[in-house]
Structure 1
Amino acid sequence: MLVEEIKILLIEDDEDDAFLVKEYLSDVKNFVCVLDWEANPERGKVKILEGKYDLFLIDFYLGKSTGLSIIDFIQKNQILTPAILLTGRNDAQIDVDASMAGAFDYLVKGDLRPDILERSIRYSIKQSRIIRELDEKEKKYRSLFERSLDCIFLANSDYSMLELNDSFLDFFGYKPSQNSLLHLRDIFANQEDFEYCVEQLKVHEVVKDFEVVLLTKDREPKDCLFNCVFIPDQADDFCCYQGIIRDLTFRKRAEREMMVAEKLSMTGKLARTIAHEIRNPLTNLNLALDNLKEEISDREEDSILYTDIIQRSSNRIETLIGDLLNSSKPKELQLELSSLHRILDDVLELVRDRAKLRGIRIAEELEEELPRIFVDREKLSIALVNILINGIEAIEHAEGLLSVQTELRGSSIFLVIADNGQGIAKEDLKKIFDPFYTSKSEGTGLGLTSTLNILSSHNASIQVSSTVGVGTRFEIEFPLPMH
């Protein structure tokens, strides 16, 4: 059976005491002690840093310094090798100080015996190995926590944040010093979503793969996948919840762009089918109507009245077919490098009188010196006018406000048009770009379909959020050309 070898550094300035310790160690039976004695504390520190020892035995009184200063040196250098403090007198305060400093044990020289020394060494090394294993695991999981590309947070039982990893801070725009000031509810765009998560944690102790809109510090909405789990048996001042948040913004954007492309494609096919199926009988109807008019004399006023009604209705159907085709087919753009602000100036001038008549105030918050973008000025103006007029017509109270905001975020220009009108019900929000969908008593319901088509042709994306009784918000993103 192999006997374990223990390498020990003894820092002791008294030669006689050093000799006694060596004798005691030679009588230890369950392991072999290899002792290196150092009388000079400063040289002892150098040897400590070499990292070749399993245990340190340190005298309390070392000339001008004390063993506590050596143990403090060990702690500051994050050395996990155990240290046992030796002293010539039994002093309860020294025992407390040694424990507080980080000593694994405290032995009185006058009480030393081989069995006492052996037991202390065995206990200290065992505890040291446990601490080392925990430290390695802590470093491993700390590395996973800090280097994770996903946002990770730790929160207490009140859902106040205790710790946030760098990805969380970068993604949400917070500083490390703001950890303790942040509450989990602060990052939720909708209070109902936060309450749902709290309820799930209380009942099931887990929230899994919950797709939700979260807010950055600057109140920018982000599509995210939220996971959170309850951690039982934690101290009151430690974490009770661990959460992982994954950014779905780009995936959701790709999904939306795919849906828009499919919607426009289906709309185009539908429009061409309707145009073909309706125009043929409509042409026959117009030919028959022309022949009928030739058979009717000018004195048959009632007949002329009815033929005029038929003619106007026929023309109306032809116009609707043309509008439907124009709203759905890809736009041929005449691109030019333009200032979005100049386009907005022209567009707002077109709708300003209509807003003034309804008592609606237009507020502009435009970021200075935005880069110019390649757009078809005429077609983009049509799209923006459609959105602005929809906003104006949605406001039916005296405190009407239509806000227009531009902002440069990363490599895109964002245009936000918001109103404080009647809002759109959640179930209707997905339909607003569909052909012929409208909540107005008059109108074709093709304006926003055309708007979506124009923006898609510009490689611009549009998102709409709305709350009934509060208002509607259109956010348009114009990606800047890559250099």
Structure 2
Amino acid sequence: MALQQVSILLIEDDEDDAFLIKDYLSDIHNFEIKLDWEPDYNKGKEKILNGSFDLFLIDFYLGKETGLNLIDFIQKQGVFTPAILLTGRNDSQIDIDASTAGAFDYLVKGDLTPDILERSIRYSIRQGETIRELDEKEKRYRSLFERSFDSIFLANIRLEFLEQNESFLNLFGFQEGELNRFELQKLFADSDDYDFCISQLKEHGVIKDFEVRLVTKPGEEKICLFNCIFIPDQEDENCCYQGIIRDLTLSKKAEADMMMAEKLSMTGKLARTIAHEIRNPLTNLNLALDSLQDEVNQSDETLSTYTQIIQRSSNRIESLIGDLLSSSKPKELQLELVSLDVIVEEVMTLVQDRAKLKDIRIEQSLEKGLPRLYVDTEKLSIALVNIFINGIEAIEHSDGLLQVSVSSRQNSIFLQIADNGGGIAKEDLKKIFDPFFTQKSNGTGLGLTSTLNILSSHNALIEVKSTVGKGTVFEIEFPLPEM
């Protein structure tokens, strides 16, 4: 069986000691040892960096320098070859200093024997291999941590951030060092969601694939998939939780856009079907009513009243059919290049009187100098008036407030209309753009359907957030035209 080959660099400035160590090494029969002796400290440093060795044997005293300095140099250069410190005297402090500096073993020359030296070589080489393997794994996992497209973080027992990768910083808009001891809770848009996460972590030690809204440093909300696990085998508080966050915002927005498009398409088909099925009997009804009016005695007040009721109801049905078709069919736009803030100001002028009647304040924050958009001013104004009026009518208390803002982010212009009215229940929020859905006693439920149709024709995206008792926010995103 072939012996393990071991290449050793001996750095020893005493020739007699070097001879003795060579002699001890020659008596070791379980390794095939190749020895390189170097008496000079500086040349020894060069060989450490440029040579290929399995082990360093280093004397404690090396002229003006010490072996501890050399071992410290090895550590700072990131060399993982094990080093054994040799000394002429048995001193417990030297033993401690050698271990602290990074020596794998500490041997007293006067106590050396081939067996002791062989044991130390075997132990040091084995430990060196283990450390190299751990270092390779650490580098591999560190690379996965740093290069991951997902946001990864480590947090202590109080869920304060200890470390996070570049993807995390980019997602939430932070700079390196800004998140030191930053609390995870501050990223959650809803405190109830955070409380749920904490309860799951305490009860199960893990929370998996939890869809949640998180807030970036600039205040933008992101829809994220949140995963976190408790690490119970840590000796201190410095690493108790590991989390992975995946940004779903774009995919969710695309999913919502597709659902909106499908809803509009289905609404259009439904509207055309209803119009066809109702207009035929309605036409017959109107013809019959005309014939009836010719036959009956018009001086009979009762009969005249009934025929008028029938006529008005028939006209109302015809009007509803027209509104339904208008709200659901694609709009033909007359596009022009206009600043959105100009349109918003005109719309606010149109609804100002209605707001004053209910003593509702309108606060505006319109960013000036924004890029202009290609829009149909008349149709977009109709859509925005619908949203403004909905906000005004949702406010039933004396401290009414409508907040309007226009701003730019990335490659879009955002219009936000927020009221402090009664809000919309979660189960109703998904229905507000459906035809005929309304909570008003005299409403047709087609206003927001038409609004959605107009905005979709402009390739604009709309998102509605609402909290019962606090109010509703409509946010509309207008993508800027590509240059």
TM-score (structure 1 length as normaliser):
0.96
How far did 1:249 drift? 1.4
Q: Deviations over 1:414-456 (max 9, x none)?
A: 2211111110001110010000111111111111101111111
SS class of match (1:96): helix
1:62 offset after TM fit, Å?
Answer: 1.8
More off after superposition, 359-368 vs 343-352: 359-368
Counterparts of 1:77 and 1:200, CA distance in 2: 45
SS of residue matched to 1:212: strand
Q: C-alpha offsets along residues 38-94 of structure 1, whole Å, 9 cap, x if unaligned?
A: 222222111111150111112222222222221121111111111111222222222
Going from structure 1 to structure 2, the CA distance change for 1:300 and 1:182 (only over 3 Å counts) comes to same
Name the SS for the 1:22 alignment partner.
helix
Pairing 1:261-340 to 2, within 5 Å after superposition? 261-297=261-297, 299-340=299-340
Cα distance in structure 2, aligned partners of 1:365 and 1:92: 73
> Secondary structure of the equivalent of 2:179?
helix
Residue deviations 1:333-373, cap 9 Å, x none?
11122211111111111112222222222222233322112
Inter-partner Cα distance in structure 1 for 2:21 and 2:407: 75
Instruction: Confirm whether residue 355 of structure 1 aligns to residue 355 of structure 2.
Output: yes
Which amino acid counterpart does residue 467 of structure 1 have in structure 2? T
Corresponding residue of 1:108: 108
Structure 2 residue matching 1:123: 3-state secondary structure: helix
Q: Secondary structure at 1:176's aligned position in 2?
A: coil
Cα deviation for residue 287 of structure 1 reads: 2.1
SS of the residue 2:107 aligns to: strand
Matched with 1:93 is 93
1:218 deviation in Å? 2.3
Q: Cα offset for 1:131?
A: 0.9
The CA distance in 1 between the partners of 2:400 and 2:27, in whole Å, is 94
Counterpart of 1:107 in structure 2: which amino acid?
L
Q: Does 1:247 align with 2:239?
A: no
2:406 is aligned to 406
Q: Residue 5 of structure 1: SS of its match in structure 2?
A: strand
What is aligned with 2:476? 476
* Structure 2 counterpart SS, 1:43: helix
3-state DSSP of counterpart to 2:180: helix
**Equivalent residue number for residue 145 of structure 2:** 145
Offset of residue 239 of structure 1? 2.2
Q: Percent identity?
A: 70
Aligned-partner Cα distance in 1 for 2:349–2:244: 48
Q: What's the counterpart of residue 464 of structure 1?
A: 464
Q: Does the residue aligned with 1:2 lie in a helix, a strand or coil? A: coil
Q: CA deviation at 1:296?
A: 4.4
Shift of residue 473, structure 1, vs aligned partner: 1.0
Q: Show the 5 A alignment for 1:197-212.
A: 197-212=197-212
For 1:255, the aligned partner's letter is E
Give the conservation status (yes or no) of the 8 Å contact 2:12–2:39: yes
Secondary structure of residue in 1 paired with 2:178:
helix
- Tell me the CA shift for residue 33 of structure 1: 2.0
Q: Distance in 2 between matches of 1:74 and 1:363?
A: 67
Q: CA RMSD in A?
A: 1.7
Tell me whether 466-475 or 53-62 shows the greater mean CA deviation.
53-62
Greater mean alpha carbon deviation, residues 380-389 or residues 473-482: 473-482
| Count of residues paired in the alignment | 483
| Paired letter, 1:170 | N
2: CA distance, partners of 1:43 / 1:361: 83
| Counterpart code for 1:16 | D
Matched, 1:61 2:61: yes
- The 3-state SS of whatever aligns with 2:224 is strand
State the one-letter code of the partner of 1:337. Answer: L
Query: 2:453 maps to which residue?
Result: 453
Instruction: Tell me by how many angstroms 1:136 deviates.
Output: 0.8
Distance (whole Å) between structure 1 residues aligned to residue 19 and residue 411 of structure 2 = 74
Per-residue displacement from partner, 1:368-387 (whole Å, max 9, x unpaired)?
Answer: 32211211111111111111
**How far apart, in 2, do the equivalents of 1:368 and 1:99 lie?**
67
Match of 2:135, as an amino acid?
Answer: D
Matching residue of 1:74: 74
Q: 5+ unaligned residues in a row in structure 2: which ranges?
A: none
Name which of structure 1's ranges 145-154 and 17-26 shifts more when overlaid on structure 2: 17-26
The CA distance in 2 between the partners of 1:265 and 1:33, in whole Å, is 82
3-state SS of 1:222 partner: strand
Report the AA paired with residue 96 of structure 2.
V
The answer to whether the 8 A contact 2:341-2:367 is kept is no
Equivalent residue for 1:165? 165
Matched, 1:366 2:366: yes
Q: Secondary structure at the match of 2:162?
A: strand
Provide the residue aligned with 1:119 in structure 2.
119
In 2, Cα distance between equivalents of 1:72 and 1:356: 78
Identify the residue that residue 30 of structure 2 maps to in structure 1: 30
Q: CA deviation at 1:102?
A: 1.2
Q: CA deviation at 1:480?
A: 1.8
User: Partners of 1:82 and 1:286 in 2: how far apart?
Assistant: 102
The CA deviation at 1:311 is: 1.9
